[in-house]
Amino acid sequence: MPATSSPLCLLRLSALGDVTHVVPLVRTLQQGLPGTPLHWVIDKAGHKLLDGLPGVHFHVYDKNTSLAGMRALRRELPEGRFEALLQMQVALRANVLSAFIPARRRIGYDKSRSKDLHGLFINERIPDRPGIHVLDAIGSFCEPLGLKQTEVSWDLATPADAHAWAAAQWQDDGRQVLMISPCSSHQRRNWYAERYAALADHAAAQGWRVVLCGGRSDLERDTTDAILAAMQHPALDLVGKDTLKQLPALLARANLLVTPDSGPMHIANAVGTKVLGLHAASNPARSGPYSDRRYCVDRYDDAARRYLHKPASALKWGTKIEFDEVMSLITVEDAIAAFERYRSDHGH
């Protein structure tokens, strides 16, 4: 087994789904390199979600602080050089930030995943494995260190008071819970309020409780209001009421989460909640819920043929199809069929 006590540094700033994907890598490193100090350069939102993760020293970089923040981060890091920097982000800002982190080994992505001058900031690369999930690509960062990520495990360090808050939001009366997190950070990945409402009404008619969750943006508030206005049945509106620390506990209370390709999709997967993912703009095989994609609606190939005039199999892995109206390819009937697959599988 490899062994080192020299510290390692991980760099992954965003988004929430991607920092969630890093947690199994942390577990692999901790198991394979016991006693090795782990430092993680992360953004503010990711830190709010993962603060308290056992055995990790976080260093928060505010993306609004530009070069001044990068210099401040450098002063905050421990003296000396890290044994290795795992540079898990190819965006130009993250590449420049990595230059402020002293490390003997600078491990980055394979050439096919590189962009924004990534290759200039690294001196080693992970193996080039096309056609794998984002989480598996991130998991590959342990391989240059002599490890292999053979199992995927999460623990998002959700505190007891977050679980208590989630438990207080509704009384458990035995009903199954359909939770809807309607918005991603990319508007063209988002489904339509009237279609969410139709799916929610179908679930409510089967005796399910419907709960809406999400952040505090105007888009999320407006979308939620439109869903509630279009519904014929009541729903519990928790949009904007939770914190990022409370979100995993809230998602854990759902039986099934409906969402586009989003952070909550991956957080729900991490806490063991099944996901009805809505995919047309992105490929669920690459960025869908890692553990179980049986209940996802997959219209990615249809989108590729309509908007890019070729099958999905002919696209570069990771291609996004973020066109206006691309999510219209997902019908209410598609979502209801996925919901009914879940009910059939779980005896509901």
Tell me the per-residue pLDDT of 36-54, one tens digit each, with 9 for 90 and over.
999 999 999 999 999 999 9
Model confidence band, residue 1 (pLDDT cutoffs 50, 70, 90): very low
Indicate if the pLDDT at residue 226 is higher than 90. Answer: yes
Least confident of 1-10, 79-88, 274-283: 1-10
Whether residue 130 contacts residue 112, with contact meaning beta carbons closer than 8 Å, is answered with yes
Model confidence band, residue 5 (pLDDT cutoffs 50, 70, 90): low
**Order of strands across the sheet that contains 124-125:** 56-60, 38-42, 8-11, 82-87, 103-108, 124-125
Partners of residue 236 on adjacent β-strands: 211
Q: Rounded mean pLDDT of the chain?
A: 96
Indicate if the pLDDT at residue 4 is higher than 80. Answer: no
Write the pLDDT tens digit of every residue in 309-345.
999 999 999 999 999 999 999 999 999 999 999 999 9
Residues 6+ apart with CB under 8 A from 347: none
Task: At 150, give phi and psi (nearest 5°).
Answer: -100, -15
Write the pLDDT tens digit of every residue in 13-37.
989 999 999 999 999 999 999 999 9
Provide, rounded to the nearest whole percent, the portion of the chain with pLDDT above 90.
94
For residue 16, CA distances in Å to 59, 94, 229 come to 16, 15, 29
Model confidence band, residue 249 (pLDDT cutoffs 50, 70, 90): very high
What is the DSSP code string of 219-243? HHHHHHHHHHHH-SS--EE-TTTS-
What is the DSSP code string of 53-96? -TTEEEEE--GGGHHHHHHHHHHHSPSS-EEEEEE---SHHHHH
Write the pLDDT tens digit of every residue in 114-173.
888 999 999 999 999 999 999 999 999 999 999 999 999 999 999 999 999 999 999 999
Indicate if the pLDDT at residue 113 is higher than 70. Answer: yes
Mean pLDDT of 290-308: 98
Looking at per-residue pLDDT, the higher value among 185 and 344 belongs to: 344
Element of type H or E holding 9: strand 8-11
Write the pLDDT tens digit of every residue in 87-110.
999 999 999 999 999 999 999 999
Whether residue 115 contacts residue 40, with contact meaning beta carbons closer than 8 Å, is answered with no
Looking at per-residue pLDDT, the higher value among 5 and 186 belongs to: 186
Indicate if the pLDDT at residue 2 is higher than 90. Answer: no
